[in-house]
Structure formats: C-alpha cells, structure tokens
Structure 1
Amino acid sequence: MSDSSTLPPARLHPEAELARDALSTPVLSRAARLARWAGPDTRVDAGAGLVDEQLPAAAAELGLTGEDAAADASEAWRVAVDTGLVEVVDEEEGTVTAGDGLGVLTGGSPQDVLGVWLAALETVVGDASVPDLGGLVDAIAEGEGSGGIDFDALDWDPEAEAEFLDGVLGNLYLLTVGGEDADGTMVPLPALAASVIVPDDMAEPTNDVLEQVSDAMMRLDDQFRMLEPVGLVEYRPVDEALMADADEEPAAPVDDTDVARYGMVRLTPLGLYGLRARLLEAGFEAPAVGDLVDKGADALLDGTAVFPPAAAHAETEQWLDRRDPLQAARELLAAARGADQG
C-alpha cells in the first residue's frame, strides 16, 4: 500500500460513542484502575515497571487470578505509564503519582479520551510484534552474556515483524473501508495472511508459499488475541483442534470445510478509528465520510466519483443534510453541468 495513494473513506462512528468504547476496553480500563490504585507506597523499577513484590496486590486489585495474573497486571501497569495515567515522581526512589492522563479519562473531551486510547493502542501493537518472552529470554542467554539479543537465534527481525503486522492491519483496513457494511465483515484469517504473503501475479500458490501462509496464520492468531482486548478487533480464534498433533484423534468430529475454524477477524468501529489515525500519522491520505460536507457541489461530485457506493451514498446524505433541499439541488445541477452551456 503506497503512502501516496488515497484510500476509500472511512465511515466513522461519532467520537463520543468511540470514547465510551475506548473507556470500556479491558486494556484501558485495567490501566486506569491501577492508576487510581497506586499510592505513596507504590514502587517501580528503573524501567518504570511495577516491582515484583507489588504485582500480586495489583493483580488482586484487577481481579486477576491464575498463572498469568502477575504478567497481566504488569502489562496493565505498563500501559498506565505509557499513556500518562501514571507518572514517575522520583526515579531513584521509584515513587509515582497520578498522571494528567487519568484526569483526561474522567473530565476530558471525547477526542482527548481517544488520544489516551491511541497511546495504549501503540503499546499493544508494539507488544504484538514481539515473540513470546520465553524465546526472548533464550535469545538473550545465547548472546554470550553481552546483555544483547541474539536475533539470529530468535529467528526474529523486529522491523520485518512490525512491517508484517502493519501490512496485515492495512489490508484489513482496506477491506473494511472498501466494503458495503459500515462495520465491516468477518475476514477469514487464511485470506488475510495470504493477502500479504502470496504475490499478486501468482496464479496458483506453491506448496512453499502455502506453508508460509500457514505459519503467518498462526502468528496472526497470537497477535489478534493480543489486539482484541484493546478494542482494535473482534476476533474468533483458530480452533485449537487444528493445532493438535497430527497423530492425536480429535475430541469431536470436525468440519474441514468450516472456514471459521481457521480464525475470523474484523475491525471494530473503534479499531477503524485507530487504524485511520495510524495511517494519517504515517503519511497516508485516509479520508473519512463527512470530509466533504463543507465543500461545494463540484467537490462533492468529484470526490464521491471514486468512492465505493455505500460511502458515496453516506457522504452525499451528510452533504444534503447541511443544506436547503432546493438550493442543494440547484448546486448539484450546476456542478453536474459544469462548463457545458447546452
């Protein structure tokens, strides 16, 4: 996807509605809860992470249990720091205080709230590009005590992994804004993986390419599981029976023709807003329905000429709602006639 190309317009929900959605996401709501929980006795390490001794209390505050409770609490705390809900007061002492972001969540405008959520989204997207911590620890150990990461041993290229995920999310955005359903349709995970793996000029994928698609699908399964709690996507995970050992008998009969078993994903309205913001930040032209409401009829006709039908209808409807019907009709007729005096 070239950053010089103009994308189809996104049909965004009202910011007030999106802000409410953002506040209700597990990632942001947990971070906010920990920010309110933090007090004078809270301590962080050199990286602003909550010290290990306080993770059980943080997990309990969030109602988390099980073997992943401490890790989930640590992640929630990091989001709180990254989004400005918590600020470090004294790095040497490791003391913290509530940040300005916490006040934004309770008293800020919808746009301000969404700004905090976008910061949380960046943290989670960054995490989704990182391999599992077990492999990361092993790779550091293989760095021969240098403290660096042996990326060859990890078989992980940070830039390539980030580009891969960005490419997948970009294609998911295109499928959403280019479709007829304003809220998007569920996309099969294999199709999404293939969209960034299979070359456009390849009529029939080779076995090697199909294996790459399968590997990418498994990576995306892990990544979308991470991205769902921040509200970016609605995700139906890959059926675990597909990941079982080939020699094992399935617990129940399975339908190999059911594409949903291979994972299904779609952007949420909040996710559409978030990806559009990321695309704009990256230099793409990513218009939204409503951008033309203050323009003249000529701009409306020119702009909607390349829109998908549903988006063109929505844009025209908003344009008409802002004008007197008779005057709007005259403007449209004049614009359609152009320089033709006949």
Structure 2
Amino acid sequence: MSDSSTLPPARLRPEAELARDALSAPVLARAARLARWADAGTRVDAGGGLVEEQLPAAAEQLGLSGDDAAAHASEAWRIAVDTGLVEITDEETGTVAAGEDLALLTGGSPQDVLGVWLTALEAVLADASVPDLDDLVDAMAEGGEVDLSSLDWDPEAESDFLDGVLGNLYLLTVGEEGPGEAPVPLPALAASVIVPSDMGEPSNEVLEQVSDAMMRLDDQFRLLEPVGLVEYQPVDEALMADADEEPAAPVDEADVTRYGMVRLTPLGLYGLRARLLDAGFEAPAVGDLSDKGADALLDGTAPFPPAAAHAETELWLAGRSPLDAARELLAAARGTDPGAPLRRLRCQQALSLVGAEAEPALREVLDDAELGGLARVWLTEHGARDVPPPPQEMVFWLTIDTVAAQLAAEGNSEELRALVEGLARQHSGFFDTVWRVEHPATPEVLEAMGRLHPDKKVAKEARKAAFKARSQQGG
C-alpha cells in the first residue's frame, strides 16, 4: 500500500465503549495500578525501572506470583513510565510521583483515555519487534553493546514485517470480502506477507518462510493480546514438541485452528486506524461524513464498498429532513467532470433510502438533462402519479451515465458485462444512435462495451461507434 491509498472505511464502536475496553486491558490496568501504588518511597534505577528490591512488592500489588512475577511487574512499571502515568521527579535519587496523565484515566474524556492507551500500544509494539531477551543477553558484545549482526536481527525490517501483518489484518477486518470480525488463521496471515500474489503453487522455500513467520507471529501476538489489540488463540504446543523443528503449514482445514487464530478487537481496530492515519494513509471511518455536505458524501463514498456506502449514507440522512436531503443530494450530483457519473449513482442509491416526502425535490429536476432520468426512475419506483415519459435523448444519456458510473465503481465486472449485453439486445440500432449522445464519457463507455461484449459482431459495432463519438467530441 502506498501512503495515498484509500482503505475501506472502518466501523468503529463509540469512543466511550472503546475507552472502557482500554481501561480493562491488562497492560494498561496493571500500569495504572502500579502508578497509584507508587509513593515517595518508591525508587527507580538509572533507566527508570523499579529497583530490584521493590519488584516483589509491585508483583504482590498486581496479584502476580510465580517465576515470572517480577518480570511482569517490571514490564507493567515501564508501561506506567512510558505512558506518563508515573513521573521520575529526581533522576539522581530515583524518586517518582504520580504523572499528570494518571488523572486522565478516571477524570478525562474517552479520547484522553484512548490517547494514553495508544501510547501503551506503541510501547508494546516496539517490544514485539525485539527478539527474545535471552538472545540479547547472549549476544552482548564487549563494552556492553548489542552486536545486532550476531542476532541476525534487523530492527527496521522486523518492525516493517509486523506493520505489514497488522495492515493486512486491518484490511481483512474492514473489507467486505474478508472475514470481518471472524478470526483469521495464522498461516493465512503469515502467507499474506510472504507469498507473492502472482505465485501459483508456493515453493518449499516459500512454505518454510511462512512457517518461520508463523512462529514469529505466535510470539508477537502473545505479547499484543494483553494490550487489547487482538484476541489470540496460540499455536498448539503439541505441534512444537520437537524444539528444533518448526511446524509446517497445515494441509487439512479441519485442524487449521491448532496453528493459531487471531482477531482484531474493536479497540485494536481503533488503534490500527489511528496508526494508519499517522502514517499518512486515507483510513476513513463510517460516520466521518455525517456532518459534511452532500458533495463530500457523494465524493467520499465513491470508492466505498456497497455496504459501507449504505451505512455512511444512512448516518448522513439521519441528521436531515427527507426533502432537504434530496435537494442537497441532487444539487451535488450535477457535473460533467470524470467523477460525476459515480456521484450520480451514489446520489441515486442515497435517494432510494429517502421516503415519499422527498417527491417535490425530484419533480423539480424532471427537465434537468443530467438529473431528469434518475428523477423519473425514483418517482416511478415510489409509485408517483403523472410521471412524464423521458425523451429518447434522456434515455440514452442516462444509459451512458449509468455504464460510466459502473465502470468507475467496479471496472470490468460480470455485472457490467451483463448490463452491456442487455443494452445491446434491448435497443435495436443502439450503436447507430448512442454515439451521438453529448455525454463526456460516451467514447469511453462505447470502448468498454466493445471490450466486454462477447459477440464479436456487436463488439465491432461498439468500437466503430466509439470512434465516431470520439471524432464528434474532437478527440
């Protein structure tokens, strides 16, 4: 994805609900508990971590026990410092105090809480891109510096890999063709960043890379679940009985869940969208356009998948009277620019959600060359009386406009192919007349019909008509 890519719109939960999820995420909840526990007697080392003597008390405060209790307490403290829940007031003596952001968790707005959570998320994501700490210790070079070459670890590449995986998980979650809120098998997610899209049967080498990636992701998602980003079912330990041998990707779909399943949580969807926006992506959310004008609605939903466009339009209509909404939509749908046909299609789809109260607005544009055709369609579908029949030139203009909009929305789809076949079949002498239509997209539409129609004779007629239309328009 380039940073100019427009992603499908995300359907976000209300911020108050997301803030509650953030506060209950173990990573932030533990950090907040330690921040409230800390007092003037709490001491930190030169790196800001709790001194070793205080780790048992911190672990007890968090209700942790066992061999890893001190390590988990240390991590929770570091998150408290990173998020500003704790401040180091005197570096020389290692004295700490509650940070200004701690009050935001109880007295701030949902946005304030989510801001603190996003900081915690960044800290955890940074951790997830670092190899196992035991490897780091083993790789310490003389002088106390880490020899990255001995680790076979490229920090930037590792971070990019995880970002790529999370980006694909985001796309699968917001895309209408993906599983939505259903969990994604870990092998499929690993393959999405390893296997080239144009590769048929993956080679053994590529499958080995997918297996390696699965194991890295298994470790990473175990770290990311406690911050509330994902729900994760880890790889079955029985599959890794041989420590020297990583499991191959599954062949049988029935056992795919044993290889790990991951789902982006509603909070995770919010967090990844925030990161995508920071990275320069167009990452819309359903509802972004509800307080904008009709022009912003029609242009903004132009690239949306159908269900997302429908949801966005419903929210936009909810804040307006049917008659005012219809008038505003019709005014915004006018134009001869390349985006106009798709705007009119989105306008037509929006008007299908408006009740009979909008009828006066549709009658006002019956004589409009650009809108008269769709107005007649709406009035007829709503059972209106005395709808004047359209003149022939309006029928042909609407036909060109409709095909141009479908081309812009879907490209050379099967639905468009069926529409093209139907048009050529229903109107005898269609191509003898249609090339004269004064619509900017007439040549382009006729060329597309020539490409799409399966009958060679009809396709040739379409191409000849396209040539005449282009000559008429001076191109």
Same fold by TM-score greater than 0.5: yes
The answer to whether the 8 A contact 1:82-1:119 is kept is yes
**Which sections of structure 1, spanning at least 5 residues, go unmatched?**
249-254
Residue 40 (structure 2) aligns with: 40
Residue 170 (structure 1) aligns with: 167
The TM-score, its normalising length taken from structure 1, stands at: 0.93
The answer to whether the 8 A contact 1:298-1:332 is kept is yes
Residue 113 (structure 1) aligns with: 113
The answer to whether the 8 A contact 1:180-1:309 is kept is no
User: What does 1:211-222 align with in structure 2 at a 5 Å threshold?
Assistant: 211-222=208-219
How far the C-alpha of 1:292 sits from its partner, in A, is 1.2
Aligned partner of 1:208: which letter?
E
Task: Tell me the distance in 2 between the aligned counterparts of 1:93 and 1:295.
Answer: 54
Aligned partner of 1:84: which letter?
G
Question: What per-residue deviation string (whole Å, max 9, x for no partner) do you get for residues 244-274 of structure 1?
Answer: 12999xxxxxx87321111111111100110
Look up the SS of the partner of 1:258 in the other structure. helix
Task: Tell me the distance in 2 between the aligned counterparts of 1:256 and 1:274.
Answer: 31
Aligned partner of 1:79: which letter?
I
How far the C-alpha of 1:302 sits from its partner, in A, is 2.6
Flag the 1:287–1:47 CA change in 2: closer, same or farther, 3 A.
same
Look up the SS of the partner of 1:156 in the other structure. coil
The answer to whether the 8 A contact 1:221-1:263 is kept is yes
Flag the 1:22–1:181 CA change in 2: closer, same or farther, 3 A.
farther
How far the C-alpha of 1:205 sits from its partner, in A, is 0.9
Task: Tell me the distance in 2 between the aligned counterparts of 1:44 and 1:126.
Answer: 22
The answer to whether the 8 A contact 1:180-1:310 is kept is no
The RMSD of aligned alpha carbons is: 1.9
The number of aligned residues is 333
Look up the SS of the partner of 1:97 in the other structure. strand
Task: Tell me the distance in 2 between the aligned counterparts of 1:161 and 1:105.
Answer: 32
Residue 87 (structure 1) aligns with: 87
Look up the SS of the partner of 1:96 in the other structure. strand
How far the C-alpha of 1:298 sits from its partner, in A, is 3.2
Look up the SS of the partner of 2:254 in the other structure. coil
Residue 9 (structure 2) aligns with: 9
Look up the SS of the partner of 2:124 in the other structure. helix
1:285 is the counterpart of 2:282: yes
Aligned partner of 1:243: which letter?
M
**Which sections of structure 2, spanning at least 5 residues, go unmatched?**
246-251, 337-369, 373-475
Look up the SS of the partner of 2:231 in the other structure. strand
Task: Identify which of 171, 178, 184 aligns with 2:181.
Answer: 184
Matched-pair identity in %: 80
How far the C-alpha of 1:180 sits from its partner, in A, is 6.7
Task: Identify which of 236, 246, 267 aligns with 1:270.
Answer: 267
How far the C-alpha of 1:41 sits from its partner, in A, is 1.1
Flag the 1:210–1:150 CA change in 2: closer, same or farther, 3 A.
same
Aligned partner of 1:315: which letter?
E
Look up the SS of the partner of 1:28 in the other structure. helix
Task: Tell me the distance in 1 between the aligned counterparts of 2:202 and 2:23.
Answer: 43
The TM-score, its normalising length taken from structure 2, stands at: 0.67
Flag the 1:201–1:46 CA change in 2: closer, same or farther, 3 A.
same
Residue 300 (structure 2) aligns with: 303
Residue 242 (structure 1) aligns with: 239
Task: Tell me the distance in 2 between the aligned counterparts of 1:21 and 1:180.
Answer: 27
Flag the 1:197–1:180 CA change in 2: closer, same or farther, 3 A.
closer
Residue 193 (structure 1) aligns with: 190
Residue 123 (structure 1) aligns with: 123
Task: Tell me the distance in 1 between the aligned counterparts of 2:131 and 2:179.
Answer: 33
Task: Tell me the distance in 2 between the aligned counterparts of 1:246 and 1:216.
Answer: 16
Flag the 1:182–1:273 CA change in 2: closer, same or farther, 3 A.
farther
Look up the SS of the partner of 1:265 in the other structure. strand
Higher relative contact order (CA 8 A, sep 6+): 1
Residue 252 (structure 1) aligns with: none
The answer to whether the 8 A contact 1:83-1:119 is kept is yes
How far the C-alpha of 1:337 sits from its partner, in A, is 5.5
Look up the SS of the partner of 1:292 in the other structure. coil
Farther-moved stretch of structure 1 (317-326 vs 58-67): 317-326
